[in-house]
């Protein structure tokens, strides 16, 4: 069976599209080496409580002074992300910005205490250990499955003589070529299912505050359901104002 290729007009358009929509991101590589203070997993004292009075678990701690290249990200301080250890992790599909059973906490100072490995194994928790994070600056173009891609790219193609919208095979080929997967701050959101921001009520959450992807590499094991991804989104004006009370938490899997 002959492999399907992208239309020549799409191929001509893609380099200009990438240049036009490119946005900064910082990739986060988990490692067992002690290369940073930022961590996936681990435990800290004084965890916030869920709606039933049970302590939440630390998902991630980002020491902001280690992060360079994300527009309007705090220059210092620490961002902590907490979730429940139960399989749904505290997400509320009806109210994904309700921080009843998960939390984002920002401390403008960077304390001395750092996350350490949990003493007990938490089988349901997505982070299987405590990993340091190696940040690296990068960039990425607007691509599937971000809800803004399809309409915007079809309009862009008109200047290259492509009048009909891209089909789903072409959509998937572009999605594979410019994957938005991975652990990162900034950039564009990846989802295994539909981007929830197709619903207008969520479209104000235009900035990726943190994305954590499933990973099965050596000792670094991260699993959100079946090869899923979790993302915290924030309105850019709230990020700029250092207001982390209005954040959307969403995760899905295959």
The answer, yes or no, to whether residue 118 has pLDDT greater than 70, is no
Q: What pLDDT does 254 receive?
A: 87
The answer, yes or no, to whether residue 214 has pLDDT greater than 80, is yes
DSSP codes, 135-184: EEEEEE---TTSTTHHHHHHHHHGGGT--SPP-HHHHHHHHHHT---SSE
The answer, yes or no, to whether residue 2 has pLDDT greater than 80, is no
In tens, the pLDDT along 127-148 reads 988 999 999 999 999 999 999 9
Q: What pLDDT does 43 receive?
A: 79
Instruction: Tell how far CA 100 is from the center of its chain.
Output: 20
Task: Report the interhelical angle of 8-21 vs 168-177 (nearest 10°).
Answer: 50
Residues 91/251, Cβ–Cβ less than 8 Å: yes
CATH number for the segment(s) 8-252: 2.30.320.10
In tens, the pLDDT along 46-76 reads 899 999 999 999 999 999 999 999 999 999 9
In tens, the pLDDT along 96-109 reads 999 999 999 999 99
Least Cα distance to 22 among 140, 110, 123, 111 occurs for 140
The answer, yes or no, to whether residue 1 has pLDDT greater than 60, is no
């Amino acid at each position: 069976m002959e492999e399907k290729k992208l239309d020549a007009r799409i191929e001509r358009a893609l380099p200009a599209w990438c240049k036009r929509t490119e946005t900064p991101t910082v990739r986060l590589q988990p490692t067992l080496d002690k290369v940073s203070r930022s961590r996936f997993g681990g435990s800290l004292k004084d965890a916030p409580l869920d709606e039933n009075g049970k302590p939440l678990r630390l998902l991630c701690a980002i020491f902001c002074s280690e992060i360079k290249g994300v527009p309007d990200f705090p220059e210092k301080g620490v961002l902590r992300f907490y979730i429940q250890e139960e399989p749904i992790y505290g997400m509320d599909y009806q109210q994904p910005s309700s921080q009843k059973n998960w939390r984002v906490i920002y401390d403008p100072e960077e304390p001395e205490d750092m996350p350490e490995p949990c003493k007990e194994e938490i089988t349901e928790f997505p982070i299987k250990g405590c990993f340091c994070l190696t940040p690296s600056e990068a960039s990425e173009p607007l691509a599937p499955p971000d809800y803004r891609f399809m309409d915007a790219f079809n309009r862009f193609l008109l200047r290259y003589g492509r009048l009909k919208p891209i089909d789903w095979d072409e959509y998937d080929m572009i999605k594979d070529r410019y994957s938005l997967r991975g652990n990162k701050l900034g950039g564009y959101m990846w989802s295994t299912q539909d981007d929830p921001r197709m619903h207008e009520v969520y479209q104000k959450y235009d900035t990726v505050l943190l994305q954590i992807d499933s990973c099965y590499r050596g000792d670094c094991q991260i699993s959100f359901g079946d090869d899923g991804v979790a993302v915290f989104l924030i309105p850019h004006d709230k990020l700029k104002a250092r207001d982390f009370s209005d954040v959307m938490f969403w995760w899905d899997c295959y």
